[in-house]
Amino acid sequence: MADYAIGDVQGCADALEELLTVIDFNPLHDCLWFAGDLVARGSDSLGVLRRVKALGNSAKVVLGNHDLHLIACFYGYSPVKKKDRTANILTADDGQELINWLRAQPLFLEIPHQNAIMSHAGIPPCWTIKQARVLSAEVSNVLQHDQQLHQFLSGMYGNSPALWHEHLRGTKRWRVITNYLTRMRLCDFAGELEFSHKEGLNDLPDGYYPWFNLPNPSIKNTRI
């Protein structure tokens, strides 16, 4: 059995098929680990969702920010962006089924036999692996609960709070958990997020660093 970690597919169904051919993927023996953002930008996000869903247990997925945005669009909490090219998912015969499948995917995965963990964005320095596991499960449970889902989606967008505190509750708590796992690029040593900088590693805002360059003893010996 082989494990393959695959980054943002972003609607590129043909490129995904080419990749599976190159690695000689065998769903009977191999497992694909998708690091989120299955949809948006590419020409066939609908095809990507159908393909990955059909793989069953041979594919493991964590949600990215584009996947969550698609869920929000489906339920009317945000308009579909033309550049995302995902409008056909909302009207597809199996659209609801695909959205339900996305809602059931986690934001964090552990791969014990590879001594690895996976999330779309990373793990903040203020969290342990155990915290990532527990807190991501909170949001996953919300996504699968119809009433809480709408509460979550109505408050999903935003950059604050930028720092985790255990006392946070409701949409603020879910938002910062989600931002850490799906949107984080830079933060400070305490884990406070910075979203304005979207360029390279030059001219970083004072006091902020790529999350993976900050010390976190919990993940020191773990592949991410």
Same domain? For 46 and 13 the reply is: yes
Mean pLDDT score of the chain, rounded to an integer? 97
Domain end (from 74, 105, 136): 105
Q: Say if residue 213's pLDDT is above 90.
A: yes
Instruction: Give the pLDDT score at 199.
Output: 87
Same domain? For 100 and 131 the reply is: no
Q: Residue 193 — very low, low, confident or very high, per pLDDT cuts 50/70/90?
A: very high
Q: Say if residue 211's pLDDT is above 90.
A: yes
pLDDT in tens, 43-61: 999 999 999 999 999 999 9
Instruction: Give the pLDDT score at 32.
Output: 98
Same domain? For 36 and 63 the reply is: yes
Residue 111 domain-assigned? no
Query: Which of 29, 22, 18, 93 is CA-nearest to residue 58?
Result: 29
Same domain? For 16 and 101 the reply is: yes
List Cβ neighbours of 147 (8 Å cut-off, separation of 6 or more).
none
Residue 114 domain-assigned? no
Query: Which of 141, 142, 126, 140 is CA-nearest to residue 190?
Result: 126
pLDDT in tens, 118-129: 999 999 999 999
Q: Residue 7 — very low, low, confident or very high, per pLDDT cuts 50/70/90?
A: very high
% residues pLDDT > 90 (the chain): 96
Q: What is the mean pLDDT of residues 98-114?
A: 98
Same domain? For 80 and 133 the reply is: no
Phi–psi pair at 62, nearest 5 degrees: -110, 150
Residue 118 domain-assigned? no
pLDDT in tens, 157-184: 999 999 999 999 999 999 999 999 999 9
Q: What is the mean pLDDT of residues 211-215?
A: 96
Q: What is the mean pLDDT of residues 192-199?
A: 95
Residue 130 domain-assigned? yes
User: What CATH number does residue 63 fall under?
Assistant: 3.60.21.10
Residue 119 domain-assigned? no
Would you tell me how many other CB atoms lie within 10 Å of the CB of residue 172?
14
Same domain? For 132 and 184 the reply is: yes
Q: Say if residue 195's pLDDT is above 90.
A: yes
Same domain? For 133 and 100 the reply is: no
Pair type for strands 209-210 and 186-187? antiparallel
Same domain? For 16 and 85 the reply is: yes
3-class SS letters over 18-71: HHHHHCCCCCCCCEEEECCCCCCCCCCHHHHHHHHHHCHHHEEECCCHHHHHHH
Same domain? For 158 and 89 the reply is: no
Same domain? For 134 and 82 the reply is: no
Instruction: Give the pLDDT score at 201.
Output: 87
Residue 115 domain-assigned? no
Residue 33 domain-assigned? yes
Q: Which domain holds residue 143?
A: 124-219
Q: Say if residue 1's pLDDT is above 90.
A: no
Same domain? For 130 and 99 the reply is: no
% residues pLDDT > 70 (the chain): 100
Q: How many domains does the chain have?
A: 2
Same domain? For 128 and 199 the reply is: yes
Instruction: Give the pLDDT score at 202.
Output: 87
Residue 191 domain-assigned? yes
Instruction: Give the pLDDT score at 200.
Output: 85
